[in-house]
Structures are given as structure tokens and as C-alpha cells.
Amino acid sequence: MKLLSLLKNKVVKNAGWIIGGRIVHMLCAFVVSLLTARYLGPGNYGLIHYATAYTTFFYSICTLGINSILVKCLIDEPEKEGETLGTALILQGAASLFSCLTILGIVKLVDGQETITVLVTALCTIGLMLRVFETVRYWFQAHLLSKFSAITSTVAYILTSAFRLVLLIREKSVTWFALATAVDYFAIAVLLFIFYKANKGPGWSFSGQQAKRLLRMGFPFILAGLMVSIYGNTDSFMLKHMVNEEEVGYYSTASSLCNTWVFVLSAIIESMYPSIMEAHKDNYAKYEQQNRLMYAIVFYVSIFVSVLFVLFARPAVRILYGEAYMPSVRPLQVITWYVAFSYLGVARNAWIVSENLQKFITPIYAGAAAMNVVVNFLLIPVWGATGAAVASLLTQISTIFVFPLFIKPMRKNTKLMAEAIILKGIR
């Protein structure tokens, strides 16, 4: 009992550090994003998010699915931590270089006549390369030492926010704001490395055998990540080419507002993840109870916040962004409901990895990606940004509660989520 109490206390403290760091990040990001949106206007603001959509899309390729199973690998084989981390970083570094070159080739082909679009996207890819070093966070997460990654994020975001404020004061062009992303990830990479060494993290090494193992375990998550990226970024691509940059700006504003608070959900999930992994080995009943508890917290906290967004969307957009962004109100009132189902999907990863059912997430997300493209194609010409929001919501609901029903081993998780929503087996 004493050991259990200590573990719970450590989990709570770990969550506290994550939430504290995310609050500072959210405040900095929100204020600076707000000022940036007002300064750039819907067109240039939409252009930044259009370029970012490319890097977000390819990030799943850069990680090679390894981040989804890295905590489990570190917990299961603590004696190989340095080898596991080093191998992961080298594999992801190579994938990131390939991704950046591919992005530049695609943008040159699709938007070659728009010099500013090509330049902004090229600058955003620098951040994609540097983001690889975020993998070190998972070592801190596996050891319940997230206070160091929280401190890292806080300091990095404060520095980056200061940099963006300087850009605003000096009235720099949109290309400088694209470069700001690279500054952010550079600061995070340096600070993570410093804290890793300070905590006597093991030296990194590469192993061909470990590389094969990580790629084999992560492969289903690569495909799943690509599918998630398709239905997570299709809206921005289709809005840009079927309507205009302004519509991307309205949709991005709605998404940014409804995501200002999701650091709370991320902190809850990240902190419960290691204890769920441990319970899977030692106490299966407790393992299922922990999953239900996590799902219930994620769902009901999200629903509560979504109700607030629906009620106060109009005054919030008018006060924060101004009249120019009022077309963002309706997309915000729709996309806010997406969060509950999106983060149930994030929370589900703990169950999927524990049960070793990674191979089944690929067909689920493939169906979701196909559905999202079709629904976007039908609704964007009619409703613009609101149509994209509806497409995202319907796709996410199907990903969590419809598509898994067609795969027998996944039905158990759907049942766990349903039980969590009706608060069955939570205590």
C-alpha cells in the first residue's frame, strides 16, 4: 500500500508539472498568436497555417511511429535506454530530412507560381527537422520526471514568444513569423539535452537490431499517423485550393481557440500512461479500471468546455480577434466538439500498445482519412470553413465509435469507452 501511495503521489506530481508547464505555454502561445493573427490578417495568418499543415502532415513520417511505443520500450528494457533513444533519434533524423525535401518538392509543384508560399513553407520545414529532438521527452515521461520537459517547454516558449513580439514591434513580414517555429524547436532541443545530461541520462548509441525492432513495432503507427494527418490537414489544403487563404485563416482561428486548453487533457493522458502500462503487467482488472477512468475524465471535461465555447464563441472572437475574424464563430461552435473524440483517440493508444494491437489502427484511420476527404469535398463548397469543421467532427466520431466495431479485437475498447461515458466501473 505504501508503494502504491508513493506511485500515485508521483503520478499526481508529474501531472502537476505537465499542467503547470502547459498553462504557461498556453498563455504565451495564446497571447502571441492573438496579436499575430490581428497583425497578419486572415490571409497571411491562413498562409502560415497552410504551410504548417505540410509539416504537421509529414511529422507522422518523421517519427516513424516510434514515439507511440517508446515509453513501453524504455519501461520494458531499462538496461537498453541509451541504445533505444540513440537508435530512435538517428532513424527519425533521416526520416525528417527525407520529409523536408519531399515537402519542398510538393510545394514547388503545386504552388510554384506563389513565391511567398514556397518561401514560408521552406522556413517552416526547419522546425520539422529540429522537432526530432523532442523524442528525448519520452525518457523523462518513462521515469515520471516530466517536470524537466515542462521547464524546457516553458523556457523555450517564453523565448520564442519574446522573439515573436519583437517581430510584431518591428513590423516584420510573414516570412519572419514562419522562421519563428524553428526558433521554438531549437530552444527545446538544447534545453532537453541539457536536462537529460543533468539527470545522468545514458549515452546514446545505434543498434541495427534495435532499429529493426523499433521500426517493426512502430510501423502500424506510421500508417495510422499518415491517415490521421490526412484527415487532420486535408481541411487546410482543400480550403486553400477550393476557396482561399482567408477561409483557412477563419478555420485555423477556430481550431486555435478550441485547442487553447487541451494541454490539460494531454497532461492527464501522459501522466496516466506509465501507470496503465504497469497495471497491464500486474493487475488486469485495475488496468481496465484505469483506462475507463482516463476515458471518462477526457470525455466529460471536454464536453463541459465545449458547452462554454458554444455559448461564448461570438463575444470571444469579436473581443479577441476583431470583426475581421467573425466568420470563425460558426466553425468554432462545431469544431469544439471534435476535442472530446480526438483525445479519446489519443488516450486509446495506451490500451492499443498494451494489448499489442497496433496493426488494427491502420485500417481504422484509413477509413477515417477516406471519409474526411469525401465529406470535405462535399461540404467545403457549400459551407466553407464550417463545412470543414463538420467533416472533422463526423470523421472523429466514426474513428472512435464506428470503424472499430468492424474489427473484433477492437470492440473491447469501444465497450470500455462506452462504459466510461456512462460511468460504469470507474470507482
Sign of CA dihedral 92, 59, 270, 36: positive
Residue 9 has pLDDT above 70, yes or no: no
With 50 as the cut, is the pLDDT of residue 419 above it?
yes
CA 208 to chain CA centroid, Å, is 29
Q: pLDDT tens for residues 140-166?
A: 877 777 677 777 877 887 888 888 888
pLDDT beyond 60 at 416: yes
**230 or 281, which is more confident:** 281
Instruction: Note the pLDDT tens digit of each residue in 314-326.
Output: 999 998 888 888 9
Structure confidence at residue 2 (pLDDT): 47
Q: What is the pLDDT of residue 16?
A: 62
Residue 14: its pLDDT value, please? 58
* pLDDT the model gives residue 20: 65
pLDDT at 8 (0 to 100): 52
Mean per-residue pLDDT of the chain: 84
Whether pLDDT at 109 is above 50: yes
Instruction: Provide the pLDDT for residue 78.
Output: 81
CB within 8 A of 234, min separation 6: which ones? 369, 372, 373, 376
CA-atom Rg of the chain in angstroms: 21
pLDDT at residue 19 is higher than 70: no
- Chain-centre distance for alpha carbon 159: 21
Q: Tell which wins on pLDDT, 281 or 167.
A: 167
Q: Which of 48-62, 220-234, 269-283 has the lowest mean pLDDT?
A: 220-234
Residues 273 and 350: beta-carbon distance below 8 Å: yes
Mean of the pLDDT values across residues 16-34? 70
The pTM assigned to this predicted structure is 0.67
- The pLDDT score that the predictor gives to residue 309 is 95
Per-residue pLDDT, 221: 76
* The pLDDT of residue 259 is above 70: yes
Determine the residue type at 177: F
Three-state SS sequence of the chain = CHHHHHHHHHHHHHHHHHHHHHHHHHHHHHHHHHHHHHHHHHHHHHHHHHHHHHHHHHHHHHHCCCHHHHHHHHHHCHHHHHHHHHHHHHHHHHHHHHHHHHHHHHHHHHCCCCHHHHHHHHHHHHHHHHHHHHHHHHHHHHCCCHHHHHHHHHHHHHHHHHHHHHHHHCCCCHHHHHHHHHHHHHHHHHHHHHHHHHCCCCCCCCCHHHHHHHHHHHHHHHHHHHHHHHHHHHHHHHHHHHCCHHHHHHHHHHHHHHCCCCHHHHHHHHHHHHHHHHHHHHCHHHHHHHHHHHHHHHHHHHHHHHHHHHHHHHHHHHHHHCHHHHHHHHHHHHHCCHHHHHHHHHHHHHHHHHHCCHHHHHHHHHHHHHHHHHHHHHHHHHHCHHHHHHHHHHHHHHHHHCHHHHCHHHHHHHHHHHHHHCCCCCC
* Separation of alpha carbons 307 and 93, rounded Å: 41
Look at residue 7 and tell me whether its pLDDT is greater than 50: no
- Structure-model confidence comparison of residues 28 and 419, the more confident one: 419
pLDDT per residue as tens digits for the range 134-144: 888 888 877 77
- State how far Cα 50 lies from the chain centre: 17
Residue 423, pLDDT > 80, answer: yes
Q: How far apart are CA 189 and CA 242, in angstroms?
A: 37
Task: Name the band, by pLDDT with cuts 50, 70 and 90, for residue 1.
Answer: very low
Who has greater pLDDT, 51 or 232? 51
Distance CA 40, CA 64 (A): 34
* Residue range 287-301, pLDDT digits in tens: 999 999 999 999 999
| Structure confidence at residue 301 (pLDDT) | 94
Q: How far apart are CA 390 and CA 337, in angstroms?
A: 10
